[in-house]
Amino acid sequence: MGKKAMRQTCIALLLGSCAHWHEPMRLPSKGGPPWVEYNTRHFRLQTDLDVEPARKLAIQMEERRSGLISAAWHGATFEGPRTRVVAFRNSSELQTFLRRGVAGIWTLDTAGEKLMVLAASFTDQRADLAGYGIQVFTHELAHDLASSYFARQPRWLSEGMARFLETMILDEKHHKVIIGVPTRTAFRIESLPRLFRAEREGRGIDEDEAGGLVFYLENREGKAFNEYQKALYRGDDPDAAWASFFPAYATEDGQWVLQKKVSEYVKEVGYTQRGFNIGGAELIDYLGAVEERPMPEPELRALRGELWLTLQGDDEQRARGEVAEEARAALAQDPSLVRALELQLKLAETRADRLALATAAQQQRPEDFRAWMLTDEALGDDTALPAQEAERTRALEKAVQLGPDNSWALHRLARAYARAGRADEAFELGRKSLNIFPDSAYALDSLALVAKAWGDCGAAQRLQQMAVDRLPHLPPEFKATSKSTSEFLARCDAIRKRLDEYKTGCR
């Protein structure tokens, strides 16, 4: 998974999402609205909105994506599979799974696919497509695109860019996309030195301050800011790049000077609504298909279980209980449902039980790439018996064949090939995985293993250092509060340990 997904794991999962529990989304059999999946070229929208606003939202999502790419990324090409968007019809349903005050989230799901969870409306039962709901989508979409563009990305830049780009307006009358028009209360700036300190220490990033900083840099120091972003695109160290292009702001004293400039600028713009640049591009109408697929109730139960598992917070015991019940009920209605079998595998305690569930999923749904990824999930990172490693490789080959754009399957098969001495094949898979998520510590970790298989210790060490550099920083007092957190931290520790091993040789 990519760095952004790790970051969401640390912030949204580990630090306490779902602190407040709400009435879960109701199933259609319990009086809730039906759910439908709308497939467009770049999105899979799963929602309980009525048909007309749902189709309108699906089209807006495509038009906003093309607008962001044209106006902010100069028409860059983005690889990878569709992004899945779970859009609840109102914020009350959303807060079943996210803590109060969190309007949306972008992360990777259990199979490494891109996932947004948000509410279409923050006002009432109708889709507030012109208001805050679509603004939240644009914010999360900015995270989505940035994850596939920057090879390095500080958290303040990630959040600041998303806050800046969420200002996007689709001017249908003049057929234009407009970015950069602030609201009168757009940003609150208190301490930029604290913002940079939070970045170093792995603490929460203030989105208002990050947004205000990006707004200022875009408008007042755009040339240097553009060069800084180019450096991050290349994969340069963020601190070194900042010091190179903004040397006056490299120290804390300099950051106080920067704060004064940023505060005065955003205050002036807020009062006068003048003195800022507007980015724009042509609005490209989405003329592609919008295919509808009703989501049966077992699938909805699996979706609820997946959201409990992916977005669980402090009350892990309750969340895991919800996951177990949803998976059990879903499989009672549809024993072949891979996503429900996957949930049970995530909860299983023994390798034998996990392997049995993986085999059942593959027998039930051999056409589903996720079923074939479960063997690797069941075996975990530890080296297994030779026969099991052969089965892992065979299953991952099938997963890549069925899901050729899944970054996680690609890099996991690269690892399996590297261990088996098939380094040339492994390299191509690892490179493709990294093209999809350029800042993925996991893909770089796998490429380092490929370099080791080639006998190039120097390259292995450099690639592993790049992987370590992309791991999220955590505050010193941070402690794991759930099994998923512990597993995540163990995987990060293993990446760091391999760097130490490569420094002493990679024989």
Task: Give residue for tokens 């479960």.
Answer: 374
Three-class DSSP category at 315:
coil
482 or 42: which leads in pLDDT: 42
pLDDT interval class at 17 (50, 70, 90): very low
Q: Is the confidence at residue 469, as pLDDT, over 70? A: yes
Predicted local confidence at residue 203, as pLDDT: 85
Q: Could you tell me what percent of the chain has a pLDDT over 90?
A: 61
Sequence-separated (6 or more) residues with CB below 8 Å from residue 300: 27, 28, 35
Beta strand spans in 109-171 (E): 114-119, 169-171
Class level of CATH domain 405-495: mainly alpha
- What are the residue ranges spanned by the domains of the chain? 1-154+161-175+291-295, 182-277, 405-495
Alpha-carbon span 12 to 26, nearest angstrom: 24
Alpha-carbon span 253 to 35, nearest angstrom: 54
133 or 312: which leads in pLDDT: 133
**Do 357 and 375 touch, CB atoms closer than 8 A?**
no
Strand pairing class (43-47; 83-88):
parallel
Q: Is the confidence at residue 100, as pLDDT, over 80? A: no
Q: What is the pTM of this model?
A: 0.87
Alpha-carbon span 56 to 86, nearest angstrom: 15
**Do 409 and 440 touch, CB atoms closer than 8 A?**
no
Predicted local confidence at residue 156, as pLDDT: 95
How many residues are present in the chain?
507
Alpha-carbon span 380 to 385, nearest angstrom: 12
Q: Is the confidence at residue 18, as pLDDT, over 50? A: no
Amino acid (1-letter code) at residue 341: L
Distance of CA 458 to the CA centre of its chain: 31
Within 10 angstroms of residue 209's Cβ, the number of other Cβ atoms is 26
pLDDT tens-digit map of 79-93: 778 999 999 988 888
Half-sphere exposure of 179 (CA within 13 A, CB side): 28
CA angle, 56 then 57 then 58, to 5° = 90
44: phi then psi, degrees, rounded to nearest 5: -120, 105
Q: Is the confidence at residue 399, as pLDDT, over 90? A: yes
**Do 377 and 354 touch, CB atoms closer than 8 A?**
yes
Q: Point out the least confidently predicted range of 17-21, 360-364, 460-464, 477-481.
A: 17-21
Fold classification of 1-154+161-175+291-295 is Zincin-like (3.30.2010)
Q: Is the confidence at residue 298, as pLDDT, over 60? A: yes
